[in-house]
Amino acid sequence: MSKTNNNRASRHHTQRSATPGKATLLALGKAFPKHVIPQECLVEGYIRDTNCQDPSIKEKLERLCKTTTVKTRYTVMSKEILDAHPELATEGTATIKQRLELTNPAVVQMAVEASLASIKEWGRSATDITHIVYVSSSEIRLPGGDLYVATQLGLRNDVNRIMLYFLGCYGGVTGLRVAKDIAENNPGSRVLLTTSETTLLGFRPPNKSRPYDLVGAALFGDGAAAAIIGADPVCPECPFMELNYAIQQFLPGTHNVIDGYLSEEGINFKLGRDLPQKIGDNIEEFCKKLMMKTDVKEYNDLFWAVHPGGPAILNRMESVLKLNEEKLECSRRALMDYGNVSSNTIFYVMEYMREELKKKGGGEEWGLALAFGPGITFEGILLRSL
């Protein structure tokens, strides 16, 4: 089903030594469904598939598609699925059962393929994995996807499993923070972190009473990512980034800015127009808390791996922090190539950042990984390039 991307990083001499006892990124992997949607084809396909007859909705979606900067996306949804389940495109139909029957195996399959890609790059046996952290806002069942992924990968039956469900866009960085804590408090442990998301749970026909549905149609994509995290690397491991310090905070009184809930028709989201402003109003203080652990004082002396929730958020950050244009290039590139893939996207950004730092012969030593989501929640990790 899935198209796996594993642009294995070539082995290189470590420029900097990892701090003893600190968690490091040892490998990355990603995977995608086989269906690719060029952005220029999205409008006609979405309008056709949902039997929308309202020209004003089509015009609005066309405008949104131009402003997102997305060029391509991958999707689990297909003509075959809609032919078998036309009720998914019918307004007011209870379809949660059908949706979960499709999404649960789809997200697990993508997570498995992304995990296999990261394990291959890591260079050690899957049985050396001691912990698995599984992140998704796209499946609901007991037992959860963590068990199915562990089983299909052939992990030991005493592997320690953790599920992080329905965190939204900041889930990938939360997963890194949790994996960091595990790796640093369990000597010799190796943590597989995997994230997997699909928009199928929220696919529905457009309705003027739900304007954000069109934003989702224009912006979000499907896929999976994986990473191996561990402290005190050994041969043949090749750490490339240190997870030096991590924090999380929420903005009081903003829990309704990103509002999501599950219904008989699937998952529904509402997004406040003031989200970029609220992030911009609080981002500097948050970044300074992370930077306190270093001697770096200037934002442009850092490298930046920011979850690209949308171009408006990136533009606001760039303006508030007075970042040079190239500082958020990896985030913009990930958004362009994959869309917003929720918790996965930060790993696509970090993969591009790894490439850029290597081109620079190491580049900046310190950087920040940031993501924002419901709450409004800020997640941040101080990174050190190795």
Tokens found for residue 244:
């030096």
pLDDT of residue 269: 85
> Percentage of the chain surpassing pLDDT 90?
87
- Do 203 and 290 fall within a single domain? no
- Do 176 and 260 fall within a single domain? no
Report the range of poorest mean pLDDT among 134-143, 265-274, 285-294: 265-274
- Do 21 and 162 fall within a single domain? yes
Per-residue pLDDT reduced to its tens digit, 270-317: 888 999 999 999 999 999 999 999 999 999 999 999 999 999 999 999
In this prediction, residues 132-136 reach a mean pLDDT of: 98
Position 49 in a domain: no
The β-bridge partners of 243 are 23, 383
38 has a pLDDT exceeding 60:
yes
In this prediction, residues 245-252 reach a mean pLDDT of: 97
pLDDT of residue 8: 46
Residue-wise DSSP of 60-119:
HHHHHHHHS---EEEES--HHHHHH-GGGGSTT---HHHHHHHHHHHHHHHHHHHHHHHH
Three-state SS for 260? strand
- Do 217 and 278 fall within a single domain? no
pLDDT of residue 303: 97
The whole-angstrom separation of Cα 206 and Cα 84 is 20
Position 48 in a domain: no
- Do 164 and 104 fall within a single domain? yes
In this prediction, residues 210-228 reach a mean pLDDT of: 93
pTM listed for this prediction: 0.94
Q: Active site residue: 65, 169, 287, 330, which one? A: 169
The residue from 179, 201, 231 where one domain ends is 231
Per-residue pLDDT reduced to its tens digit, 154-179: 999 999 999 999 999 999 999 999 99
The residue from 196, 231, 266 where one domain ends is 231
Three-state SS for 151? helix
pLDDT of residue 12: 45
| Burial annotation 353-367 (CB, 10 A radius, 16+ → b, else e) | bbeebbeeeeebbbb
Confidence label for 10 from pLDDT (cuts 50, 70 and 90): very low
- Do 27 and 114 fall within a single domain? yes
Containing domain of residue 115, as a range?
Answer: 2-34+94-231
For the question of residue 238 being annotated catalytic, the response is no
Position 53 in a domain: no
The whole-angstrom separation of Cα 117 and Cα 350 is 15
14 has a pLDDT exceeding 70:
no
Supply the CATH number for residue 274's domain. 3.40.47.10
pLDDT of residue 360: 85
pLDDT of residue 362: 75
In this prediction, residues 253-259 reach a mean pLDDT of: 94
- Do 141 and 186 fall within a single domain? yes
Domain count, the chain: 2
User: What is the residue-averaged pLDDT of the chain?
Assistant: 94
pLDDT of residue 155: 98
Tokens found for residue 152:
């299909």
Position 52 in a domain: no
- Do 255 and 227 fall within a single domain? no
- Do 214 and 171 fall within a single domain? yes
In this prediction, residues 351-361 reach a mean pLDDT of: 93
Tokens found for residue 289:
């808390």
Position 80 in a domain: no
Per-residue pLDDT reduced to its tens digit, 77-108: 999 999 999 999 998 898 999 999 999 999 99
- Cα 347 → chain centroid: 6
